[in-house]
Every structure is written in structure tokens, then in C-alpha cells.
Amino acid sequence: MFEKSFITDCEGPLTLNDNAFEIAQHFIENGGELFKVLSLYDDYLADIVKKENYKAGNTLKLILPFFVCENLKNKDLVEFSKDNIYSVDDSKFLLKYLKEAMNTYIVSTSYGQYIEAVSNYMGVPFENTFYTDVDVDGLNLNDDEIKKINEFKEMILKNPEDYELFDDIFFTQIPEMGIYEKIRDINVVGGEGKKLAIDEIIERNGIDVNNMLYIGDSITDVEPLAFARQNNGISISFNGNEYPLKVAEIAIVSPSAVATAVVANVYAQNDKGKVLEFINDYNNTDDYKKLFEKYNIDLEIENKFFEVFNDREYPVICIVDDNNFDEILNVSKEMRNNIRGQDIGGLG
């Protein structure tokens, strides 16, 4: 075991996908639009209503009856996931470095079928990943229920902001169906679920809670980012929207994961104070080569950084405060939309 631990979300910091959205878009007629509407409803329940016992990321449960209507099976999710992994530039490079420097874990809201495909692709041990475990094969609807779910779909698409209608569908009518018992018991690893996954890592592997870096990009990362920060760890929003930026201490805005590798390299060798000192110097220098020498940045990371940003603007790596929040949010969301596409970038 290493002294320091690196814990990352998957979709955003490592991959460009929103796998559940893409599955819905691919297999369901108007499924992409349906997923976007449900994602906004999910944000509303988690962030505005703060519904009791509700986790951010529960869109992955809300969409499941619509998967069943299309007769989707586990093998469909597995095959689609394997064939549709789109990684953030240099994320494999980042993980290759991390294997030799820090305990490394992926904590993701995504379905396990996708995370297993990503772990194989990225070379991360599957046992070091946490995900939403869904057995689609075990979910069933009778013919009358399928007809009803399809009617619900049309109602949702025609009334995308009628959250009273949605409350009735998802918390009154679907709970009367046999499928609900199995969906109810699914543990979505989002928000507080990610924080609980970190608790499990701490207990299982004995990692030091005060020597932890967490990086995420969306509403499902708020609790683990806050947890890392409260315990004097490193909390990073990577191309994040407003949700992680409100709680993360550090923002990275970059088309490449090599920017993350630079910060991780400083942290692997030093304490948090040195990381913050590096970031301050990074934003007040004209000589980045000299800066990297001063902080003893790994030569392979240094070479990759200057190769990637040879003729491009250097990435944003900064400490978030009230004075720069709006500016960072604008450039972060712009980068998020540019590299992930507006459909995925706009999801919470």
C-alpha cells in the first residue's frame, strides 16, 4: 500500500461517456430525450427537494422500467459498453502513472457492466472499482405493465417539467408493480453512495483518510468531494458543472488528463500544503519548465504535459474561491460541453 490514495469518478475525469444516457439513446425510441428529462428530475429531487433517502444519480433506477420494455438484457449492456468507451485524452497515461505512485480506485455511479469494461480497457483491477450493481435479466414486467410504462414515457416526454406527474408515476404507480421491489433494493453509488464506498475502502484497505485525493465532475460527486476536503485531503472538480465546483477546493479545466497527473504527482511526493503552493506558483509564472523542475515533476509527466500543450493554451489549475467561481464555472462548462458533447455535458 502507498501512503496516498487517488479516488476518481469514472465518467468525466476518465471517460467522455454517460453510459446510461447512451444506452437509453441507442435502445429506446426518444430514449436520449427521456433520459435528459429524468436526469433533470433527479437533480431536482436531490438538490432542490432534498428528498429523504434519495441519492443523486438515481436516474439509473428511474430509467430501468423503460429498459425492460425494450427487452434489454445484461449481455446488451455488456456488449454496448465494450464497444462504446470514449476516454478522456491521456487518461490511460494518468492511470499508468498512478499504479506506481498511489492506491487507486474508481468510484462511479455507472452500471457495473460499463465499469467492468472500463477497468479492463484502462488496466485498473476490477476489485478496486465501485459501481451501481444492476441485474437487468432479473427485472420483469407483464404485458399490461409494459403498456403502462410506454404510456408513462409519452406522458413524460409531453410534459417534461411536470414534476407532480413524475412524482405520481415514480413514487405511486410504479411502486404498485412487481418490478419495484427489485428496483427499490438497487444501491445507486451516487452522492452519499460514493461517500459510503469511500468508507468501505478505508475500512477494507486501511487507507489514511487524511491522505486522499478525490476527483469528480458532477452532482454525484458532491458528498465525496466534501468528505475529502473536510479531512484535509485534495478535492478536485475536473471539467465540472456548478455542483462539484461549489464544494471542491481545486478546479482543473483541461482536454487532457495529464493535468490531473501533474497535481497527483505533486501530491504523491508532498503534503496538501505543497500542492496548494504549486497551484499558486502555476498561476503566477511565465516559466513552466522552471516551475516543473522546482517541484520535481516526474520527467515522463513533464514531457507529456508539454507535448500535449505545445501549441495549446495551458490548462486551468486553480484554487476555487468566491472571486473566481463564476469565471471558472463558465470555462469549465464550456470545456465539458466541447469534449463530451452538449447532450452529455448538460447532464447533472
Mean pLDDT value of segment 267-273: 97
Mean pLDDT of the chain: 96
**Cα–Cα–Cα angle for 113, 117, 123, nearest 5°?**
140
121 and 85 in contact (C-beta within 8 Å)? yes
List, for residues 184-243, the tens digit of each pLDDT value: 999 999 989 999 999 999 999 999 999 999 999 999 999 999 999 999 999 999 999 999
Reported as a pLDDT band with limits 50, 70 and 90, residue 53 is: confident
User: How many CB atoms are located within 10 Å of the residue 210 CB?
Assistant: 11
Buried b (16+ CB within 10 A) or exposed e, 62-71: bbbbbbbbbe
Cβ partners under 8 Å of residue 183, min gap 6: 61, 64, 65, 139, 174
Q: Mean of the pLDDT values across residues 151-157?
A: 98
pLDDT by residue (tens digit) across 318-346? 999 999 999 999 999 999 999 987 566 56
Cell numbers 470555462: residue: 331
- Determine the topology of domain 5-10+191-345 in CATH: Rossmann fold (3.40.50)
**Beta-carbon contacts of residue 344 (< 8 Å; ≥ 6 apart):** 16, 17, 18, 21
Please state, in angstroms and rounded to a whole number, the distance separating the CA atoms of residues 102 and 97.
9
What's the pLDDT at 348? Answer: 58
- Predicted TM-score (pTM) above 0.85: yes
Give the mean model confidence (pLDDT) for residues 281-291: 97
On the question of pLDDT at 288 being above 90, the answer is yes
Q: Which pLDDT score, from 0 to 100, does residue 347 have?
A: 64
Q: What is the pLDDT confidence band of residue 56, given thresholds at 50, 70 and 90?
A: confident
Question: By percentage, how much of the chain surpasses pLDDT 70?
Answer: 98
Q: According to the model, what pLDDT value does residue 340 have?
A: 86
C-alpha cell at 94: 494518468
Model confidence at 133: pLDDT above 90: yes
Question: Average pLDDT of 118-138?
Answer: 97
